[in-house]
Structure 1
Amino acid sequence: MRFLVRVAAAAVTSLLAIGSAHALTVYSSVDEENAKKLLDAFSKATGVETQMVFLSSGPALSRIEAEKANPQADVWFGAPSENHILAKERGLTEPYVSQNAAALSDEFKDKEGYWHAIYTNPLAIGVRTDILESRKAPVPTSWEDLKNPAYKGLIQMPSPQSSGTAYALILTLIDERGEDGAFDYLKAINPNVQTYTQSGTAPSGALGVGETPLAIQFTPGFLKLADEGYPVQVVFPSEGVGYEVAAMSILKGAKNVDDAKKLVDWMTSADGQGALSATKTYFLPIRSDVSGGTGVPALDKIKLVSSDPKFAAENKKRLVERWTKDVLGQ
């Protein structure tokens, strides 16, 4: 009897394997909730079945490298683009130039087709307009405006000691003002900072409950609040903003490469990019002809500031230590 049970179990396992053999296998470094929204929309649009394994950026790259001789997935979906550059350099991905590549600016694709961007998240200032109005304080339009004494103790932003979001702000300011100018600026706004949060997304939470009227972080949290009806305005400072770019790559030796190409094509199409707002991911489209949703300007209306990934990696420890010393006075 035990033998028959084992045979039956093996048969079921084999059938499951056969049933999933044609599914597009995706290692996703996009958070599970939003990845499911996007992959479900892709399946609905194309008829391609997907199965997803969630892995954060570091573990995903390690697993892809470990499986290099026998890939267990077809696509790496998500993780900042610099991770996909590493995957390309290590021979873990294969090129495919999407038919939509021409619609993407250079920072959103590899010119040889080894990766294409999925979405971007620019930095922004989230503003509770009702609170500022009650204080008769203006809505800021620039980084420079945050020096206004009217904002004393009213700003929340992450700490670069624990948050990559805050480090992205430092890099943005260095690009705009030079290193000394960036730290002079951060020292100047320090009296206006209510608290430096440990989490990169905590400021938007504080904004939502009215704990602060001004918050600095990447945009999704602010866009979600605005969409839910909070009196929140998303301000992209006029000097320019840094941003993160999530990308996707087809893995070398992918067993389902045709459907992998379909995912790349769909995600970079106007329909795929439109799904970012339609499914309420609150990510910003990488195509300038696709809106991020109500109240969100198209990407070509936002001044974006690029940072050198090599400089960012090599100088992070030094710059964070300088922030601690110069800004916190420790």
Structure 2
Amino acid sequence: MKFSLRTAAAAVLASMLTVGSAHALTVYSSVDEENAKKLLDAFSEATGVDVQMVFLSSGPALSRIEAEKARPQADIWFGAPSENHILAKERGLTEAYPSPNASALRDEFKDADGFWHAIYTNPLGFGVRTDILKSRNAPVPTSWEDLKNPAYKGLIQMPSPQSSGTAYSVILTLLEERGEDGAFEYLKALNPNIQTYTQSGTAPSGALGVGETPLAIQFTPGFLKLADEGYPVEVVFPSEGVGYEVASMSILKGAQKPDEAKKLVDWMTSAEGQTALSQTKTYFLPVRTDVSGGAGVPSLDKIKLVSVKPSFAAENKQRLVERWTKDVLGQ
């Protein structure tokens, strides 16, 4: 009898938790947890929609969404580069919703049929702890080629393309600049200077902040934040040029809260939602031209940018990541 009572009590508790969560919009977020919380809290305050967030890097997020497609456990995928959302569309994992705000976005910031919309955009760059390099009598790099300097052996952190869309953007940038074979020759030559390949796209900036590494490669908001907070961090945009991410969002097919998911898409693409990028100090660049990125955030026209077609990025991702694993890691 005691076992039955305990079982019944557990069932009631589980039911209560399920009911509680059923009222919330469930978001799989591939935006870093701190900034995702800032934006989603601002969305909840503006609209009254409760949000339950689960953080997943872009690769694991896509795998989980695909694994759950028969019974989706989330309503919307928030973040990850647009090529990931193109893949999700092609695999039948998302639903079209052309937001009324889509007309304010450039073509590269939205799907023509409304399957995904951009949230923000950011360039790649280097984060440099100038104090640590100075103590080692090592120069501050100004280019991709500089990173091959033997003075940086075992000092650089960057994400792994196997789990991070950020690292895949590095590959695509180098591909555009050097050709495919040249890009992989470069990455293989850079490998001895890599301290670690992180699972998360934003982990290198965390390591930079605590002095675990003096050189980090990722999208730049984490570096801009450290510099703004007074850390001895310099943000470098390599002279050859950098790629940039277009972080996007998609409503998942079979979403339990489609109306609330549409509200998030509409709010994030509105002037109010885009202004929240700077108001909450995310250091992300807005995708609407009528909204400023705020103090300390560079405008894209001040950086040499390397553009990659999202369709190419999506179609070649598995092949290029597998080549990186083979050519660079030797696996």
TM-score, normalisation: structure 2: 0.75
Q: Is structure 2 residue 317 aligned with structure 1 residue 312? A: yes
Distance 1:89 1:31 in 2: 25
- Measured at CA, do residues 187 and 92 of structure 1 come closer, stay the same or move farther in structure 2, by a change above 3 Å? closer
SS in structure 2 of the partner of residue 273 of structure 1: helix
Aligned to 1:61: 65
1:98 partner amino acid:
S
Percent identity between the aligned chains?
A: 68
Query: Where do residues 217-256 of structure 1 align in structure 2 (5 Å cutoff)?
Result: 217-256=218-257
Asked if 2 retains the 8 angstrom alpha-carbon contact of 1:171 and 1:312, the reply is no
Q: Is structure 2 residue 201 aligned with structure 1 residue 196? A: no
C-alpha offsets along residues 158-209 of structure 1, whole Å, 9 cap, x if unaligned?
A: 375866444532331121121343345456767xx64431315554345334
Distance 1:24 1:230 in 2: 36
Q: CA deviation at 1:65?
A: 0.7
- Measured at CA, do residues 293 and 129 of structure 1 come closer, stay the same or move farther in structure 2, by a change above 3 Å? farther
SS in structure 2 of the partner of residue 306 of structure 1: coil
| Structure 1 residue ranges without an equivalent (≥5) | none
- Measured at CA, do residues 324 and 87 of structure 1 come closer, stay the same or move farther in structure 2, by a change above 3 Å? closer
Aligned to 1:267: 268
Q: Is structure 2 residue 41 aligned with structure 1 residue 40? A: yes
- Measured at CA, do residues 289 and 137 of structure 1 come closer, stay the same or move farther in structure 2, by a change above 3 Å? farther
Q: Is structure 2 residue 98 aligned with structure 1 residue 97? A: yes
Q: CA deviation at 1:267?
A: 0.8
Q: Is structure 2 residue 119 aligned with structure 1 residue 118? A: yes
Asked if 1 retains the 8 angstrom alpha-carbon contact of 2:121 and 2:284, the reply is yes
Q: CA deviation at 1:66?
A: 1.7
Q: Which moved more, 1:20-29 or 1:263-272?
A: 20-29
SS in structure 2 of the partner of residue 98 of structure 1: coil
TM-score, normalisation: structure 1: 0.75
- Measured at CA, do residues 203 and 60 of structure 1 come closer, stay the same or move farther in structure 2, by a change above 3 Å? closer
- Measured at CA, do residues 187 and 319 of structure 1 come closer, stay the same or move farther in structure 2, by a change above 3 Å? closer
Query: Where do residues 10-89 of structure 1 align in structure 2 (5 Å cutoff)?
Result: 17=19, 23-54=24-55, 56-62=60-66, 64-67=68-71, 73-89=74-90
Asked if 2 retains the 8 angstrom alpha-carbon contact of 1:285 and 1:299, the reply is no
SS in structure 2 of the partner of residue 247 of structure 1: strand
Distance 2:51 2:272 in 1: 18
Distance 1:210 1:51 in 2: 33
Distance 2:317 2:14 in 1: 50
SS in structure 2 of the partner of residue 239 of structure 1: coil
C-alpha offsets along residues 98-146 of structure 1, whole Å, 9 cap, x if unaligned?
A: 2322333333211110111223443211123445667887654433454
Q: CA deviation at 1:284?
A: 4.1
Larger Rg: 1
- Measured at CA, do residues 32 and 188 of structure 1 come closer, stay the same or move farther in structure 2, by a change above 3 Å? closer
Distance 2:261 2:207 in 1: 40
Q: CA deviation at 1:266?
A: 1.0
SS in structure 1 of the partner of residue 316 of structure 2: helix
Distance 2:204 2:256 in 1: 43
